[in-house]
Amino acid sequence: MGFLESIERWSSLRNLMVMIVASFVVVMVMAMLTQTWVYDVYGEVTMPDTRITYSFTEISDVFNTLGQAGLNVWAQAHLLDFIFPLTYMFAMAFGINLEISKLSLEKPKMKYLVLFPLLAGIADYAENILVLTQIAAYPNLSELVIAIASAVTGLKWILLLVGFVVIFALLFALALSRLRAISK
């Protein structure tokens, strides 16, 4: 059994809800820890993973504002960011798969739509690792690594956007399908 078939097999309303709740909880805890442990102590900044793209200068400024101690605390608070991609990518993949099933769109190529959130999650992991390498290297930041991290961050946001477009397009198609059934 392939990976896409496994996603299809695990796609249920229960698993979708579990992943949505887990995503929400992880984001809330991560936001609380980041605010209280980092921003309240070391200063408000916009970290790389919340930006669409960024430059070497922008990251240098952020890292210099937080300093080594602030970066170390931020890295600890953001260990949860290694759980979050797993929760949102499966929530989105399960949602897309359930919508495809409800619409009876059993065409083989439709199941590939779940790849958008899955690839976004993989890009998120790559971004997290690249940012952590620069936290570990601070103050000796690499322009090349930051440029690659920025490109990966942009790719993550594009894939997430496409994933949400797919979800909402399928929801719209599902709503139209139900309206047509009611009007008959």
Q: Which residues of 116-125 are buried (b: 16+ CB within 10 A; e: fewer)?
A: bbbbbbbbbb
Q: For the segment 35-72, what is each residue's pLDDT rounded down to a tens digit?
A: 888 888 888 888 888 889 999 999 999 999 999 999 99
Q: Residue 149 belongs to what domain range? A: 3-183
Collapse the DSSP code of 44 into the 3-class scheme (helix H, G, I; strand E, B; otherwise coil) and give the result. coil
The predicted-structure confidence for 144-171, as pLDDT tens digits, reads as follows 999 999 999 999 999 999 999 999 999 9
Query: How many domains would you assign to the chain?
Result: 1
Q: What pLDDT digit, counting tens, does each position of 105-127 carry? A: 777 788 899 999 999 999 999 99
Rounded CA-CA distance 63/124 in Å is: 20
| Separation of alpha carbons 170 and 103, rounded Å | 8
Cite the DSSP H helix spans in 34-114.
Answer: 40-42, 56-77, 84-102
Give first-to-last CA distance, the chain, whole Å.
40
In the block, residue with structure tokens 């409800």:
102
